[in-house]
Structure 1
Amino acid sequence: MEHHKTYSKEGNTAPYQPHDQPPPPYDAIPQDLTEAQGISVNDDGRVVVDASSRLCRSLSKLLPHVIPQTLPPPDYSERVSTFKFPLNIVIQIVGSRGDVQPFVALGTELQKTGHRVRIATHNVFEQFILEAGLEFYPIGGDPADLMSYMVKNPGLIPSLDSVREGDIQKKRLMMAEILHGCWQSCLMPDPITNAPFVANAIIANPPSFAHVHCAQALGIPLHLMFTMPWSPTKAFSHPVVDWLSWQGLGGVINDWRKHELELEPISLSDGPFILSKLNVPYTYCWSPGLVPKPDDWSHNFDVCGFFFRDPPDYQPPLEIAQFLNAGPPPVYFGFGSIVLDDPEQITKTILQTVKETGVRAVISRGWSKLGGVAPGELSGDDVLFIDDCPHEWLFEQVSAVVHHGGAGTTACGLRNGKPTIIVPFFGDQPFWGEMVSAAGAGPDPIPYKQLKVATLAQAVRFCLTTEAVRSAQGIAAKMQQDEGVKTAVASFHRNLPQGLVECDLLPEFPACWRYRLGKKRFRLSKIAAEILVEKNLLDVKNLKPYQPNPITIENTRWDPVTGISSAGMGLTFDMLKAGGDIFYKPYKVYQDGRTSPLPSPSGSENNPAQLSPGDSARSIGKAQSTNDFATRRNVEPKQKGRGVAMAAASTHASGKLLGKMASGLMVDLPLAAAEGFRVLPGLYGEKVPEYGKVKDWKSGAVAGAKSFTIGMGEAVTGVFYQPYKGARDGGAAGFAGGLLKGTFGVVGKMAHGKDILHLWAPSGALSPFTFADFLPTKGSLGLVAYPSQGIKQSIHSALHKSTRKLIMAALHLEGYDMLRQERVRGIEDRMVIERFTAMTQNDFDHNIDYI
């Protein structure tokens, strides 16, 4: 729903109180497109939806009824500064320096609590992160290109210019590189020190996209942290970036999941919602004194305060010091990492504004190189152009700040009590502009396409008023009460899963392996496992990676009709694509001489299964080449005739077509129907039965048996129980409703199960009309569908071992390195051996030589 709101700057004599009125909307958009349908898009790509329109009311009927969680929010004053054992934490960040800098502060605080922290981001930030004393891992990607793309396409809806210039394909290739780099950051050795590393947990900002998939592959916890609203709320508008991104990048992500992580693809309809389905915790990095936590966010959402790093020890160059001392405090102008289309025009606008208002100005050249003069060169006595300078120091010296509205820059200005003018370009920048305006600490935001001298001059004059200064200082006073980084660390610790447990033998380390010996089950740390392997007390082949937070991503089914329809559409699409490949792949081979079939990783000479605990970090780096996404997509063919290669490509595509058809008809469609019938009771308010996650043939058989048993019982009892329950709760009207529910349930559950039973019953054992005719459809389908799905999962697991072997090799390598370091410090192995012996002495006798 569109809102227009203007905040008067006259007579504002008191700081804004956040509870006086709700925060303003995320955007204010003129209704210029499809107004009759209640949807419009403004010039910067933001979309506004009128929820009361006929279209939205109709679409809302298709959405499932969601009961909001009523658990109380956590106590923000609660502090959990330490955890019971140290973790390897990788922080994955995609974005500009303003996105990276808050996580440097977070990483430093996590390091203080004993964790090992690796920040994985773009290569250009390496020195910045290393100077902060944190580990760095490059994920590729060019943030300048990302910023340029976002300025051109602020709403993620590509413009015609972007399409013509090939920006879409460039972004997809960049995202493929970033996905690959994020996965490597979870288990590759340090690129500088060669120190092995396997992540125990992932912290990420949402635009990195790889986070949940890496967490699924490793079975480790994920925690999202961000500086802008990313989650749905009624309190203010929020971006639909997940949905839009999946439409453009879903294919890239699924291709990466398949080839590098060896995970099954995610449907485009489920992709945007997997984070909410998995209840991934969020921590939002802004001050609750500026934007309080919305009431409709669940207990695993925190608003903790802005992240500020310790002030750097900065000594300004002589020209900056002299300029600041030569007159009254200047106004700061700068747009940081924004890549401007016309920096010369923006520079002229700023200089003319300075002249009209009579202020002094410090202009940060930024990535767009504003000014076109050498760093430090004066453009008159009242203007100084500068290059990089820490905002924490600089904003203490100025009277007001004018910038693009990045969360970090906004926070730094407000923390120093400086009135703020925001010129937003995309993303969260309009949001922060509205928040600053609502608080009285600045004028209404000025979209960069509307930036004129008169408008900017009026905004500068307002920022110099007593009212604006008083409001900004009031916000600063509130922010002083926040401990954003410490609160975020507490939020991270509080949301870690219960499955993240200590080693059974060395409780000061987290469990990373599981080991079964007779009836005994052990959870072992990396170092404990290597000690036992070295002493020949356990067979390394029986060690399996322990997953403290197993993640299963399943297709969502609302009812049998939509479930079967969705599965049928997916099967049709897959078959059409596979059928087209029969002709396209040979043509592709003919055109560029490449073969379509990809070599099996198991055939690589650097198979990670061949790595031993003593192998070097270089060996595991070579092993990664078997999973390298880019390499696997650009494998040169063996020397053979083009005709043979074309025939092989066609045969490979034909095999995929037959495989898709068999899997779809025998597994996917029956499973969609079974799941649709399983969730059907939820449509009329009944409890939906749970059969457990299907991970292999065993769990599939259990789920099938539960489905059959529960389905048959519900079909027999429902027609009697529902009317009784209705009469008990609602009298005669309730009895009628219960009778309808019971009848509807029977129609859905009772049907011809005879054909399914005949799959295993002896011929003629059942008469044409037996009890089998009235067996529950849900149970009968489940009896076949869930075991079939389990068998499919087991086959997939058996044929795709490369990623698991890579993870195991990385665990062994880090364990061996930890063992070597502990021995250097004089740690003995006797304690581990004695504890293991005591725990296993009932199973077998040990004859241990400690010498």
Structure 2
Amino acid sequence: MMLLTSGTRGDVEPFVALARYAAARGHQVRLGVPENSGADLSGVDTVSLDVDFHRLMGTRGLSPWTAVHHFRSEVGPGMRRMLSAAVRETLAFAPDLVLHHPLVLTAPAVADALGVPRALAEFVPVATPTQEFSAPGGPTVSKDLGPFNRATYAVPRSGARLFRRDVERACRQLPGGRTASPPAASRATLMGISPQLLPRPADWPDRVHLTGSWHCDAGAPDPDPAVAGFVRGGPCLVATFGSMTGGDPSAGGRTVVDSARAHGLRTLLVTGWGGLTLPEDRRGEDVLVVPSAPLDALLPDAALAVHHGGAGTVHTVARAGIPSVVVPFLVDQPFWGRQLHRRGIAAAPIPRRSLKPQTLVPAVGDALARREQAQRVGRAVRQEQGLPAALDVLTGL
């Protein structure tokens, strides 16, 4: 089977877990991945999709001109390379099944050309409409439009039209030099999402499978002993904004440390792609700064997490059984922030521009009061069998 993913680390790691799980059970698996995702790819047969999402997400100018320039210079060319590589690598592997991320827009055409079944993988429910909530990442994500919620899913679908010509160009590699229009529908959609965080909407069709999250502890790196010792050395707040950048990272770090100290907590600051940094005037023995850390191994010993609300981080925090404060930046993150709050395991989300001590200090106190519920949800998430459920669906197609 050919697995094709896109996006950042939170989009790559679940595919890696599924690739390892399927290969260990005798399946021949190849995984197409973006470059420099930060995910551990050891032991997995991978090929590059010729795109680096660090570059695609690295510039977030405030002016329309900056946005247009960045699209033309980085986003457009990066997507063209990825769409072409997905076709080229899938044809070369000749799989008997294709599973793909929604952004890999050429996957339907190459699966059709090979005459093999295709399934879609979603870690954020943007491609499967429902009446129960607006499309995550859309302009109405914070509103419940009732019977009009389904209409909001036209917005993410329309984004694919921006790359229609790029899809056509990439599909010239196919036998016959073109793609069927429209391509055949996917046989199944696999939602690698915990039902503890997102209960299944009643109007999703039967071909949509809410499998639980895709996670595998086998082969996970051990944390640095000094970092693990710091987290275990007293009540600790772990803060990370992952691949997010923007705003004033120094002000964000100052706010996080001040808010932790207001509650008698130590701070592990994981700087990631630079969304958080620590100013000199906030350094101390109660603060440790690291560029990255294996959150799965560290979070169970923490008191709570402050994070950006990416799908991967949301599941990691929930699995650890600790409460959190979500500081969403963009796209699906406000959706996950509200979901965690509704499930009783996080304070109300704080938009990035509103992150100040006067908002974060009370939010940390609110989150700490939710620890028992977070522990209950964590136990349930850890019992999920997301990988076996996903593989069962794929082998039945």
TM-score > 0.5 by shorter chain: yes
Counterpart in the other structure of 2:214: 307
* One-letter identity of the residue aligned with 1:457: V
1:237 aligns with 2:151: no
* One-letter identity of the residue aligned with 1:226: E
Counterpart in the other structure of 1:423: 327
1:338 aligns with 2:217: no
Contact 2:270-2:289 within 8 A present in 1 as well: yes
Counterpart in the other structure of 1:255: 169
* One-letter identity of the residue aligned with 1:210: T
Q: Deviations over 1:63-109 (max 9, x none)?
A: xxxxxxxxxxxxxxxxxxxxxxxxxx111111111111111111111
1:316 to 193, 218, 223: 223
In 1, Cα distance between equivalents of 2:219 and 2:322? 20
Contact 2:123-2:193 within 8 A present in 1 as well: yes
Q: Deviations over 1:396-428 (max 9, x none)?
A: 121101111111211111112100111112222
Structure 1 residues 383, 226: CA separation in 2 closer, same or farther (over 3 Å shift)?
same
Contact 1:96-1:147 within 8 A present in 2 as well: no
> TM-score, structure 1 length as denominator?
0.42
Counterpart in the other structure of 2:315: 411
Name which one, 1 or 2, has greater alpha-carbon Rg: 1
Contact 2:347-2:366 within 8 A present in 1 as well: yes
Contact 2:232-2:302 within 8 A present in 1 as well: no
In 1, Cα distance between equivalents of 2:254 and 2:278? 11
How far is the alpha carbon of 1:265 from its aligned partner?
7.7
Structure 1 residues 229, 286: CA separation in 2 closer, same or farther (over 3 Å shift)?
same
Contact 1:420-1:442 within 8 A present in 2 as well: yes
Structure possessing the higher relative contact order (Cα contacts under 8 Å, 6 or more residues apart) = 2
Query: CA RMSD of the aligned region, Å?
Result: 2.5
Contact 1:104-1:309 within 8 A present in 2 as well: no
Structure 1 residues 203, 313: CA separation in 2 closer, same or farther (over 3 Å shift)?
closer
How far is the alpha carbon of 1:162 from its aligned partner?
0.6
Contact 1:227-1:286 within 8 A present in 2 as well: yes
1:184 to 88, 101, 104: 88
Counterpart in the other structure of 1:246: 160
Structure 1 residues 291, 370: CA separation in 2 closer, same or farther (over 3 Å shift)?
closer
2:54 to 134, 144, 158: 144
Contact 2:90-2:110 within 8 A present in 1 as well: yes
1:212 aligns with 2:112: no
Q: Deviations over 1:595-618 (max 9, x none)?
A: xxxxxxxxxxxxxxxxxxxxxxxx
Contact 1:229-1:428 within 8 A present in 2 as well: no
Contact 2:83-2:166 within 8 A present in 1 as well: no
Counterpart in the other structure of 2:77: 173
Structure 1 residues 106, 449: CA separation in 2 closer, same or farther (over 3 Å shift)?
same
1:311-460 mapped onto 2 (5 Å cutoff) = 311-312=218-219, 314-326=221-233, 328-368=234-274, 370-371=276-277, 379-460=283-364
How far is the alpha carbon of 1:296 from its aligned partner?
1.2
1:388 aligned counterpart, secondary structure: coil
Counterpart in the other structure of 1:481: 383
1:349 aligned counterpart, secondary structure: helix
In 1, Cα distance between equivalents of 2:325 and 2:318? 11
* One-letter identity of the residue aligned with 1:104: V
How far is the alpha carbon of 1:313 from its aligned partner?
5.4
Structure 1 residues 311, 453: CA separation in 2 closer, same or farther (over 3 Å shift)?
farther
Structure 1 residues 304, 123: CA separation in 2 closer, same or farther (over 3 Å shift)?
same
How far is the alpha carbon of 1:438 from its aligned partner?
0.4
Contact 2:91-2:110 within 8 A present in 1 as well: no
Counterpart in the other structure of 2:150: none
Aligned residue pairs total 377
1:455-466 mapped onto 2 (5 Å cutoff) = 455-465=359-369
Structure 1 residues 184, 126: CA separation in 2 closer, same or farther (over 3 Å shift)?
farther
In 2, Cα distance between equivalents of 1:483 and 1:145? 34
In 1, Cα distance between equivalents of 2:96 and 2:119? 12
In 1, Cα distance between equivalents of 2:215 and 2:86? 25
How far is the alpha carbon of 1:140 from its aligned partner?
1.0
In 1, Cα distance between equivalents of 2:342 and 2:285? 35
How far is the alpha carbon of 1:228 from its aligned partner?
0.8
1:278 aligns with 2:198: no
1:100 aligned counterpart, secondary structure: helix
Contact 2:35-2:53 within 8 A present in 1 as well: no
How far is the alpha carbon of 1:242 from its aligned partner?
4.0
Structure 1 residues 373, 252: CA separation in 2 closer, same or farther (over 3 Å shift)?
same
1:94 aligns with 2:6: yes
How far is the alpha carbon of 1:310 from its aligned partner?
1.6
Contact 1:119-1:134 within 8 A present in 2 as well: yes
Structure 1 residues 134, 373: CA separation in 2 closer, same or farther (over 3 Å shift)?
farther
Contact 2:231-2:298 within 8 A present in 1 as well: no
Contact 1:126-1:136 within 8 A present in 2 as well: no
Structure 1 residues 400, 440: CA separation in 2 closer, same or farther (over 3 Å shift)?
same
Contact 2:250-2:276 within 8 A present in 1 as well: yes
Between Structure 1 and Structure 2, which shows a larger proportion of helix residues? 1
Structure 1 residues 461, 312: CA separation in 2 closer, same or farther (over 3 Å shift)?
farther
Contact 2:215-2:386 within 8 A present in 1 as well: yes
In 1, Cα distance between equivalents of 2:186 and 2:28? 25
Contact 2:61-2:67 within 8 A present in 1 as well: yes
Alignment identity in percent? 28
1:128 aligned counterpart, secondary structure: coil
In 2, Cα distance between equivalents of 1:312 and 1:391? 14
In 2, Cα distance between equivalents of 1:127 and 1:395? 18
Structure 1 residues 475, 159: CA separation in 2 closer, same or farther (over 3 Å shift)?
farther
